[in-house]
Chain A
Amino acid sequence: METSTTEQGRAYRGQAHTRVNVGPAERKASLAGGAALALSGLWSVGRRNYLSGLAMIASGGMLLYRGQTGHCGLYEAIGVDTVHTQESGLRIEKVVTIGLPPHQVYEFWRRLENLPRFMKHLASVQVTGERTSHWKAVGPGGLSTEWDAEMMEDTPGQQISWHSVGSADIPNKGTVEFKEAPGNRGTEVRVIIDYYPPGGTAGRAAARIAHGLNAQQLEEDLKRLKQILEVGEETTARRTVE
């Protein structure tokens, strides 16, 4: 499986130095991400990973504070202001080869309700119109975010792309390409997801956590998609029915 992750962009230097320098969307993300970090920190400490656990609790606590007060000391110190500036995105890109023709893989993906079957961070995708859908994602600790998405491009057997619309906590867009692989190997499925988290490195971290999606998970998601399409179900080493 070929993989790549790129992070694009960084926060611009803010001009205005008001008390509130963390934008409302990021405040929400900070709250969610902070809670998640603190939770997983506690979990780590419970598992005796004291150092990393304590570090997570500390940074989680900082995010929580930031979300609640709308003020970030760190941001102020480094001159970042996400209320007044625009931020570019975080990109996750993965590709997998699946032993079925492009139109079959496309058909499966095009029924958007199928996505949560292999994308573990998604709780549900509901089709709400010809080009619109409602997405629900779950992060660690049961934190969830929801948004509406609109399909921008739909070329049967080749490509689907979508973007979030309205007041998404973390605006995002995605593209999936289906390309015939050489030598009868099936389809190369390439997924590119861009997030526009509100503000800087901390915002990006919060976005990852709030959405529960990172490059590693997308890679595992695509492996699951491959298993479902090639084998008929997700493979498991479980011994007993749960």
Chain B
Amino acid sequence: MRAVCWHGKQDVRVDTVPDPEIVQKGDVIVKVALTCICGSDLHLYNGYVPTMKKGDILGHEFVGEIVAAGPAVTRFRVGDRVIVPFPISCGACWYCKHELWSLCDNSNPNSWMMEHIYGDTGGGIFGYSHLYGGYAGGQAEYVRVPFADVGLEKIPDGIPYEQVVLLTDIMPTGYQAAVYCNINPGDTVAVWGCGPVGLLAMKSAKLLGAERVIGIDRFPDRLQMAHSQCQAEVLNYEEVDVAEQLQNMTGGRGPDSCIDAVGLEARGTGIEDVYDLVKQTLHLETDRASALRQLVKACRKGGTLSITGVYSGFIDKFPMGAIFAKGLTLRGGQAHVHKYLPHLVKLVAEQQIDPSSIITHRMSLEDAPEGYRTFVKKQDSCIKIALKPEHAAQKSEPASA
């Protein structure tokens, strides 16, 4: 089959690799109908996530049709159209049983790596480095999906793949970011980053009852999208002092909740940005923290910081004093996708939300290298790229066990 493979920093290629097979009883093989490039794939692309190996298949956002199922699979049959959550969860451990799906104890076969770095492990993730299990990703014609009965969600008849492909990651990620804000009537939610997750977090915050949402970015086309799609007020952080402006907009209080939808490659302004960039380049600091520092400063007293952008390591100059003085709550982590899927599928089916509206680019899987280049440079107003594999006609399906 054809698959998008990582070959090194800013080097991805479409290679021919062996088809996946049913390896364990609970596996299914999904024939990928649609797959997306995620903002967090850009961290892999730019070489910020360790333990990538040449030839690793990328991609953790994909939907498709089941073409083979292991003997233990009971909830699905060959021919079912399915949404595949990006975290892999066993369904049997304490974390899975407590709906903390992305923190699964058993689905990361390389758990010792994260245990040594972070103190404990999270679950495996499709196509997201050996730190997260070394699973092959979904930017491919076919994918082996373990624990099918636990993770997958059926796509109701009549709903096109495009409307649900973002339910694999960024829609639930944005939704969880908003849920973590504990939104009350009258609340203002400020969102740093008007990329895909930021936009969907704004939509979710509105859906969960926020009175106002404020989008913060430096790209005018992204700010425009936040304004037109999410009815957000917008701030360009290169043009204004964000914390001061947010105070002005909220009667001197500050936003009730602040969402970080930027992550470790955040850009700031001025000397602080240069400091982070230099230290990150010299590997003295793994993550750039300018957005995170702004969140802390801007948030109202007793408010919540909801962190959904990916951070991988260490941050310097983190304003712990302000967190203490203002009594802030910090929440974050990978989305527990399984928990939100049924509800979100229902919202899509009832046309209360259409995540596909943020897809700006549609390409063939074969064009993935170009897609990565466009996305990383934020060219051509690129927000979200969906890739469609060109399954060869009469191609033999992968063998079932």
Residue ranges of A at the interface with B (Cβ–Cβ < 8 Å): 1, 97, 99, 185-186, 216, 219-220, 223, 226-227, 230-241
Of B25, B97, B112, B136, which contacts A237 at CB under 8 A?
B136
The answer on a CB contact under 8 Å between A241 and B92 is: no
Mark out the residues of chain B between 63 and 104 whose CB falls within 8 Å of any chain A CB in the assembled complex.
90, 92-94, 97
Q: Which 5 A-B pairs rank lowest in CB-CB distance, beginning with the nearest?
A: A237-B134, A239-B20, A230-B92, A237-B135, A240-B21
Closest to B130 in A: A237
CA distance A186 to B115 in the complex (A): 21
CA distance A45 to B79 in the complex (A): 50
The answer on a CB contact under 8 Å between B105 and A240 is: no
Can you show 9 pairs from A to B with CB atoms below 8 A apart? A216-B112, A220-B112, A223-B112, A231-B92, A231-B106, A235-B107, A236-B24, A237-B110, A239-B144
What is the minimal beta-carbon distance from A190 to any residue of chain B, in angstroms?
A: 17
Candidate in A232, A234, A235, A236 with the most chain B CB atoms within 10 angstroms: A235
| Known contacts A1-B120, A226-B106; is-contact A235 B93 (Cβ 8 Å) | no
The answer on a CB contact under 8 Å between A233 and B94 is: no
The answer on a CB contact under 8 Å between B90 and A219 is: no
What is the minimal beta-carbon distance from B55 to any residue of chain A, in angstroms?
A: 11
CA distance A220 to B110 in the complex (A): 9
Residue ranges of B at the interface with A (Cβ–Cβ < 8 Å): 18-25, 90, 92-94, 97, 105-112, 115, 120, 124, 133-136, 144, 146, 401
Q: Knowing that A237-B136, A239-B23, A241-B21 are A-B contacts, what are 11 other residue pairs whose CB atoms are under 8 Å apart, sorted by A's residue number?
A: A1-B115, A1-B120, A219-B112, A220-B112, A227-B90, A230-B90, A233-B24, A236-B109, A237-B109, A237-B110, A239-B144
Of A216, A219, A220, A230, which contacts B106 at CB under 8 A?
A230
CA distance A118 to B110 in the complex (A): 15
The answer on a CB contact under 8 Å between B112 and A186 is: no
When distances are taken between beta carbons in the complex, the residues of chain B under 8 Å from A233 are 24-25
The answer on a CB contact under 8 Å between A185 and B94 is: yes
CA distance A184 to B120 in the complex (A): 20
The answer on a CB contact under 8 Å between A230 and B93 is: yes
CA distance A13 to B159 in the complex (A): 79
CA distance A1 to B112 in the complex (A): 9
What is the minimal beta-carbon distance from A233 to any residue of chain B, in angstroms?
A: 6
When distances are taken between beta carbons in the complex, the residues of chain B under 8 Å from A231 are 90, 92-93, 106
Of B25, B94, B120, which contacts A99 at CB under 8 A?
B94
When distances are taken between beta carbons in the complex, the residues of chain B under 8 Å from A226 are 93, 105-106
